[in-house]
Structure 1
Amino acid sequence: MFERWRALIPTREQIGSNRWLRWLAPYLGHPKLWHWSRRGVALGVGIGVFFGLLIPIAQIPFAAAAAVILRANLPAAAASTLVTNPITFAPVYFAAYKIGAWVTGEKLEPPAAAAGTTPADANAGIWRRITALGTPLVVGLAITASLIGLASYVLTSAGWYWYVRRKRRRLRRS
């Protein structure tokens, strides 16, 4: 299975030869960014999940930059940002808002009765409610991204350890 994944991931040479990514080649030349080790992959997954949950846009560039700085596995960091996608986006952000509202103590007021209001007043009320989501959502996303990113690092590292241990036992038995 790992071989199939590795075949889909572009190599350093392919990135260096791409005219749009050629300027990144000096930063992407470190061997640890492409090495499949327990520490590198676990750190890459943790970074990718963190940025995948924390910010709604440009997740892969932020995760890749953090992976370069921390010398984590770059393909694992980029791929694990896909933890949020069109299917998981709404439940993740709703849960993050609920966590943030619980931590900050803020509550979203229910919409007022629309009778007798002009469309401009109704739009202002919607905008006020959307901006009221800000603090609880940001706090909830920071907490969620930190905890799930750390948990994904630990689980990936532990899973890798147990996989290698089991594989070595099988080799010893045969």
Structure 2
Amino acid sequence: MARKIIRRFLPDATTVKDKPALQFLGDLLHDPNLFHLNRHSVSLAFFFGIFLAFLPLPGQMALAALCALWVRCNLPITMTLVWITNPLTISPIFFATYQLGRWILESPKVTAPTELSWAWLAEEFALVWKPLLLGSVLTGFVFGGLGYITMQLFWRWHVTRSWNKRRKERLNRPQ
């Protein structure tokens, strides 16, 4: 099943629960839905993990953990998918989301500074934040939704394929 494929890449529930850094969460980590691998839990984890990855906010992993606790979806998958925006990919992703937001809002182009300063940053941030946030939220919803649908379809395809394989084996078995 799809569960076996995903389980290979995820940490065990007891490993996560025994982390000293997570002890402040107490009994919240003992909810079995946070580590359960079913179509609903994994699909929601894909949606929220990808959505949060596209938001230009600090502390994305903490937000992913809180979100997984709130909607009771798979915690390790949600937190892992936030790493779509990592130090190598964050610049092109946020540049693309900014350009999308700028195109939708029809904002003027921000000029690159000749000299980087706090004054330039404060002045240009007022022009940049709205397109960046709009583009990030829209892109997060689109790619999060695609991740949700993809996991739903993959799970269904994998289960159907397994059923058909077992049925074929049962029919071909000599009696």
Into which bin does the TM-score normalised by the smaller protein fall? 0.7 to 0.9
| Aligned CA distance change for structure 1 residues 110 and 57 (closer, same or farther; 3 Å) | closer
The match for 1:171 among 163, 166, 169 is 166
Which 5+ residue runs of structure 1 have no aligned equivalent?
none
Deviations 1:31-61 (A, max 9, x none): 1111100000010111111111113421111
The verdict on how the C-alpha distance between 1:27 and 1:172 changes in structure 2, with shifts beyond 3 A counting, is same
> So what's the TM-score if we normalise by structure 1?
0.84
In 1, distance between residues paired with 2:16 and 2:108?
47
Q: CA deviation at 1:128?
A: 2.5
In the alignment, is the contact (CA less than 8 A) between 1:52 and 1:83 conserved in 2?
A: yes
Equivalent residue number for residue 66 of structure 1: 67
Q: What TM-score does the superposition give when structure 2 sets the normalisation length?
A: 0.83
- Matched residues in 1 for 2:121 and 2:51: separation? 30
Letter in 1 for 2:31: H
The counterpart of 1:142, out of the listed 129, 137, 142, is 137
How far 1:160 sits from its partner (Å)? Answer: 1.1
Q: Name the SS for the 1:28 alignment partner.
A: helix
What is the rounded CA distance, in whole Å, between the counterparts of 2:168 and 2:18 in structure 1? 45
Return the alpha-carbon distance in structure 2 between the equivalents of residues 16 and 129 of structure 1. 44
Q: Does the CA contact (< 8 Å) of 2:46 and 2:151 recur in 1?
A: yes
Paired residue total: 165
Between the two proteins, what is the percent identity of the paired residues?
26
Q: Distance in 1 between matches of 2:93 and 2:31?
A: 34
Q: Which amino acid letter does the alignment assign opposite residue 44 of structure 1?
A: A
Matched, 1:5 2:6: no
Q: Secondary structure at the match of 1:106?
A: coil
Counterpart position of 1:157: 152
How many angstroms apart in 1 are the aligned matches of 2:153 and 2:136? 25
CA RMSD of aligned residues (A): 2.3
